[in-house]
Structures are given as C-alpha cells and as structure tokens.
Structure 1
C-alpha cells in the first residue's frame, strides 16, 4: 500500500475514535478561533502511523461563517519524495470548554482535538486527542527555542504522557532557504 493510502486510511481509522477527553486533561476555557486560525507548525509529536515518515508538517485552520473550522494537514513524505495533504472539518464540542473540538477527515466520524495549553499570544499550543497516545506541540514558527521544547516535555510528563515515542519534527522545508536548504 502506498504512503498516501496508508496516510488516509490511518487518518480515517483514528478519527472513528472517541470525542472524549483523557482523564485529568482540561481543555483551555477560552479559545478564540479567529486568533487560532492560520498556519501552525508541528514542532513535536507522539509518532503515529498516519504521520510516520512525514516531516515539515503543518496544520492550517480557516474559520468558516458557520463557526466551523476547515483543517488542512500537510507534511512531506521522505519515503515518497512528495507532499501529503489531508483536509478535514472541525467544530466545537457542544457543552464543552472552548478548547475541546471534534475533527473529522472522513464523513460523520469525529475524534477529539483538545487544546490544553495555549499561550496568551497564540504562538504555541499543546494538543492531545481523546487519550494520551496523541500529543502535539504546535507553534506559529517552524522553530522554537530549547526552553519552549523543554517546558513542553516537562508539562507533558506532569500530565501523564509517555514521551518514549516523542519525535521533534524536521521543519527544514519550512525554513528560509538560507537556514533550511
């Protein structure tokens, strides 16, 4: 099976999961989707089959007039030597804190998208899924300083995440030519 099909199949399989929350994880109470929209760079993640071998991963969020969010995830497949893209749709979970959304990349199947830490400038976000197998550090910049990464690791451990499979994402294709190529 080629990487594109595996990527799509894995996304579909993960999104048939749950829209609940990991025990003890609290979504941020305030999330201004207008400020959250735009491009976020994946700095670190717990690796999964649907992102395996992908570098320079980004997530683009566009706010729709009905309050939903269009999601475009993009990453470079080192194995295939080309970009992979998956388009989805997110909506706030009814009755939940603002940082708890549900996202779908395939029909009516949704999975949790939980922003549990967001800095006041909307420059970094810690995101998980319905359990602690999913974890991302997102940033508005393709690079963060070591302190930001260390703080993320420390907080994730304190929140009960197993960081044994954590990878720092190569963002070199998203850096200016003088730095990344």
Structure 2
C-alpha cells in the first residue's frame, strides 16, 4: 500500500518546483553563537533551490522584532508585473539553538525550519530548510542571501561551498534576478 502511494506521489512531486529526496531530512551544522539582533534587517535573495511560492525577481526579506518577541518577516517580490508582499512570523523554538529558527506565513500553517547555517551578518547568509513526509522523503530548500542585491563572487563561492559540504545539490540552485529593482 505504502509503495503504491509513494509511486503515485513521486511523479506529482517531481513536477512541482520543490527539491525532493528520499529519506528523512539531514541535520546540517548551523551557525554557532548566532545573534538575532545582528541578523535583523533586510536580506536579498541571491540564489535558491526552487520554491513554488517564490517565482519572481527582486526577492527580499526584512526581519524585525515585534513587541510580543516574535520576529516579523516581510517578504517582497516582483512577479507578473506586480510587487507582491507577504508577512510571516518567525520564532526561536529553543534559545539554546538560536540559529534554528522557525517560520510561518499563515496562522493556519505549521512553522517550518529556517536554519541559519552561516552568516557574517554584513555580507552573506546561508539558510536551509527541510521537512520530511512520513520519513519516506523530504522537501529541501536552501538560500544564499546578501545584504546587497549583488554579492561579491568570493562570498557566493563561499556560500555554495558550504552548501556542498552539507550535501545540498547545487545543480538545482537558481539565481534570483535582482536587476531593475526599485528600493524603498
């Protein structure tokens, strides 16, 4: 029965824009001594593994602490001739592992992992997310973010190398268009 169900799901899953792999999610190393205060502010998406909800260009996210202690995440992208904004909420489930954040863009959806693998806070950040389905397969996301719309080549190579070390297949990584964008 399970094999039949999986055989039906795999073609459907492979047709979408996400990155799927067999087995449960891996546990990559995360940023030690992560400082949320230094991470706050605007980050631009430089490269990513495909994500069906982020198909536009000029993609950015702005992180800010709310009065209740949660983190507001305001994303913006230009898609189909419109600027589209979405607000989400981020939390730190375990303060002892501050670089393992969790993010939700709807009151009705569960929080998804948002793990900061590495950041220097001023130039580049490498972020990873994964969730598994019945421990049979997992859906993987990865982002290279920059404080500016364009990263120096050495920062991009560093981020790609880190993802490779953690077993992320860069074959499916895609550049995010940041040309012709208008800043607020």
Give TM-score, length-normalised by structure 2. 0.75
Question: Shift of residue 33 of structure 1?
Answer: 1.9
Would the alpha carbon gap of residues 91 and 62 (structure 1) be closer, same or farther in structure 2, given more than 3 Å must change? same
Residues 22, 129 of structure 1: 8 Å contact kept: no
Residues 124, 151 of structure 2: 8 Å contact kept: no
Residues 33, 63 of structure 1: 8 Å contact kept: no
Question: Shift of residue 157 of structure 1?
Answer: 1.2
Distance in 2 (alpha carbons) for counterparts of 1:173 and 1:114: 30
Aligned to 2:153: 146
Distance in 2 (alpha carbons) for counterparts of 1:66 and 1:122: 26
User: Which blocks of at least 5 consecutive residues in structure 2 are unaligned?
Assistant: 1-23, 132-138
24-33 or 100-109, which moves further after superposition?
24-33
34, 39, 44: which one aligns with 1:41: 44
1:73 and 2:79 matched: no
Aligned to 1:118: 119
Distance in 1 (alpha carbons) for counterparts of 2:182 and 2:86: 22
Residues 125, 138 of structure 1: 8 Å contact kept: yes
Aligned to 1:171: 178
Residues 22, 130 of structure 1: 8 Å contact kept: yes
Structure whose CA Rg is larger: 2
Would the alpha carbon gap of residues 26 and 158 (structure 1) be closer, same or farther in structure 2, given more than 3 Å must change? closer
- 3-state SS of 2:94 partner: coil
Would the alpha carbon gap of residues 50 and 166 (structure 1) be closer, same or farther in structure 2, given more than 3 Å must change? same
Give TM-score, length-normalised by structure 1. 0.76
1:30 and 2:37 matched: no
**Matches for 1:150-161 after TM superposition, within 5 Å:** 150-161=157-168
User: Which blocks of at least 5 consecutive residues in structure 1 are unaligned?
Assistant: 1-20, 177-181
Question: Shift of residue 175 of structure 1?
Answer: 6.8
